[in-house]
Structure 1
Amino acid sequence: MADNNDASRIRFAPDGELYVRFAGSSKTDLPTNTSDDPAEFGFVPLGYSDENGVTITPKIDTDAVNVWQSAVPVLYTVKSASFQIKSTLMEVNKETTELFFGSEWKPVKKSANGDVEYQLDIRSNPDLKEIALVVDWSQGSGDSQVRNRCVIGRAMISDRGGISLTRSKNQTYELTIDALDNGGLLGSVFTTDDMSSSPNVMVKGPNQVAAGAKAELVGYAWPKDDQVSGDADPAK
């Protein structure tokens, strides 16, 4: 069993980035692979996240179908589904703070030296604004780099943490983002990792074939029309 294990398939996420696009943007299309530039689709980066990175949580809540004839459920039905992104943002910029406070900055004052002050109003009856989100993460570099991307076309901020104002620790903005239904999709995940099924081949018929004879092979998970060839081991 251990011979099938492959440590090279273990993945980390040492590098990554979050991008956001607010509703009302002139851009409406979404990236469809890991190479598309988010900026070309109207997305802007949110900057540094804390050392915990990003947590992606797909969740399906189910209800059990219980019957008289069995002590265990015979079926589960879907009660609800969610796709959630959570991260603590470190940078103080326009996009991060507007996401956190749920409002927009507006210039309100310009001093004699040209400095501008901005005001953000936190309303008693806030609007829940829709966003689109891209989460990128990768491992390695060059030809061996594995790139991954999660794209959410419709989402809203569902929860926020608190800001601590202290002398020795920077401000952070903890955000939980939940995907919304988008034509039957909550989101899409793209990767350059090899996700093809591992081919399997078995001999159809006897395990031993006489020298010069032909054996018929049955393959599973091979691409259509691919051919299999090889040499028999005379010791076996």
Structure 2
Amino acid sequence: MSERYHPSWEPILKPLLKQDFMRKLSMFVQQERKTSLVFPPENLVFNAFKLTAFEDVKVVILGQDPYHNDGQAHGLSFSVPAGIMLPPSLRNIYAELTTDIPGFVMPQSGDLTAWAKQGVLLLNATLTVRAHQAASHQKKGWEEFTDQIIHTVSQKLDHVVFILWGSYAQKKAALIDDKRHLILRSVHPSPLSVYRGFFGCKHFSKANDYLAAAAKSPINWQV
């Protein structure tokens, strides 16, 4: 399993993965893979931890569930592999970027790997899902795992931007030390809520302003 994440996460993930709740979760997911199609593929479940080294985390963008349609999920919140049609929420994220970041051009690709490699931890609260069944792997242990990740990032790093979109993500603010970090909140970029405050939130420029003030290099949001 260790080759599935960056070595810098080893001191955090290794003890976590040995806990009882994670053993039970692992057995559940393995059983699901025997009887159903599960996304993302097994080698991409920890992709967020593979592409972003722990000490490099500058921004955390928290999602809820992996995408549950064919070919979409690849272990990064809101992201889809190149060649896959842009999901509505990601299209709205890009639309906000075009008004927030000067010169940002609407991308054709939904692959956010370039963000991850710059220190954007694209973390879903639940890291697996049964195909075509949203929320099917919720309350099985993943939330406890990712809550501990969020808390650890908050405790061990400084000047991280936590971007929380929607009521589910905003509840995670309780895990974050807001004196050491910046928490940005808005409604979810889903078409159902995007006009209630996501458009115009300027989270991307606010994140970069905060990073610059902390003497950290800003994120190049162009994909």
What TM-score do the two structures reach when normalised by structure 2? 0.22
**Which structure is higher in RCO with an 8 Å CA cutoff and minimum separation 6?**
2
What TM-score do the two structures reach when normalised by structure 1? 0.21
Query: Which structure features the higher share of strand residues?
Result: 1
Query: Which structure features the higher share of helix residues?
Result: 2
* Larger Rg belongs to: 1
